[in-house]
């Protein structure tokens, strides 16, 4: 494993009975990368993510984090789902600090981290609110702040903005980029939205349809903040689109 590599996936294969979903997938993720993964609808993107987190047992292959087999009791991995996963009985502040409480982070450090992430996602004034008092987009901000506050080695995001309208999605994408830039967290972001992948990703991995393979990984060197109408943005978006239209 290269020194700047944090995740190495070797010959990952996943079957459900006789159905082959993930077919001998191999790739690496560099430390501090924001990797977006896109592919045709139903190609197995969530299965792929669930295999990384061991929610599913893999049929064969290896998933290594820092050169070791992924072990959720040892490695600090955060997972953000499509649905908001706030705890309704806790305030915004308590939701964000929940993971830090579990890890017994010292009080001063915990307070510092919570303040930092609440500031970035614009929830300082809502710290005493409960999730039921917040919109869906604000609840998702709470979830994202909670994940970043724990300083995970790897953050997995499964289409977290899929249910939001375009304006809210762009706002949360900008906040995600700020958090990623400030923390250096390695992020693997699953999306079916090609424009979102080009807007967010430092690298874009394109998957084939089932049985799923890695078709290609494209670097994205477009300067930030990214303009979705810029010629280089449109060019890369079209390139990704054509690669997904493999049929």
Give the Cα separation of 179 and 235 in Å (integer): 27
pLDDT at 14: 93
pLDDT at 161: 85
Contact 210, 43 (CB under 8 A): yes
pLDDT at 157: 93
Q: Where are the domains of the chain?
A: 1-76+154-239+241-247, 86-151
Three-state secondary structure readout of 173-239 = HHHHHHHHHHHCCEEEEECCCHHHHHHHCCEEEEECCCCECEEEEEECCCCCCCCCCCHHHHHHHHH
Three-state secondary structure readout of 36-71 = EEECCCCCCHHHHHHHHCCCCCCCEEEEEECCEECC
pLDDT at 72: 76
pTM of the model: 0.91
pLDDT at 180: 94
pLDDT at 113: 94
Strand partners, 187: 34, 155
- Written as tens digits, the pLDDT of the chain (247 aa) is 466 899 999 999 999 999 999 999 999 999 999 999 998 877 778 888 888 877 788 999 998 999 988 877 788 888 887 777 899 999 999 999 998 998 899 999 999 999 999 998 889 999 999 999 999 889 988 999 999 999 999 999 998 888 777 778 888 899 899 889 989 999 999 998 999 999 999 999 999 988 899 999 999 999 999 999 999 999 999 999 999 875 5
pLDDT at 54: 75
Contact 139, 146 (CB under 8 A): no
CATH class, range 1-76+154-239+241-247: alpha beta
pLDDT at 45: 81
pLDDT at 231: 97
């Amino acid at each position: 494993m290269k020194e700047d590599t944090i995740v190495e996936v070797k010959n990952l294969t996943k079957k459900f009975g006789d159905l082959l979903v993930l077919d001998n997938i191999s790739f690496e993720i560099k430390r501090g990368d924001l990797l977006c993964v896109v592919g045709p609808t139903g190609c197995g993107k969530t299965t792929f993510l669930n295999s990384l987190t061991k929610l599913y047992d893999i049929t064969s292959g290896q998933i290594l984090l820092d050169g070791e087999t992924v072990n959720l009791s040892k490695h600090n991995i955060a997972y953000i789902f499509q649905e908001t996963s706030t705890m309704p009985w806790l305030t915004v502040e308590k939701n964000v600090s929940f993971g830090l409480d579990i890890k017994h982070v010292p009080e001063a450090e915990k307070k510092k981290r919570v303040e930092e992430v609440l500031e970035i996602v614009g929830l300082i004034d809502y710290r005493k609110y409960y999730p039921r008092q917040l919109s869906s987009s604000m609840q998702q901000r709470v979830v994202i702040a909670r994940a970043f506050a724990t300083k995970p080695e790897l953050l997995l995001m499964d289409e977290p903005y899929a249910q939001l309208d375009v304006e809210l999605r762009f706002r949360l994408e900008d906040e995600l980029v700020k958090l990623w830039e400030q923390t250096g967290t390695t992020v693997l972001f699953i999306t079916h939205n090609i424009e979102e992948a080009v807007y967010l990703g430092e690298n874009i991995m394109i998957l084939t349809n089932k049985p799923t393979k890695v078709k290609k990984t494209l670097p994205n060197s477009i300067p930030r903040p990214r303009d979705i109408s810029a010629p280089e943005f449109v060019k890369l978006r079209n390139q990704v689109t054509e690669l997904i239209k493999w049929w």
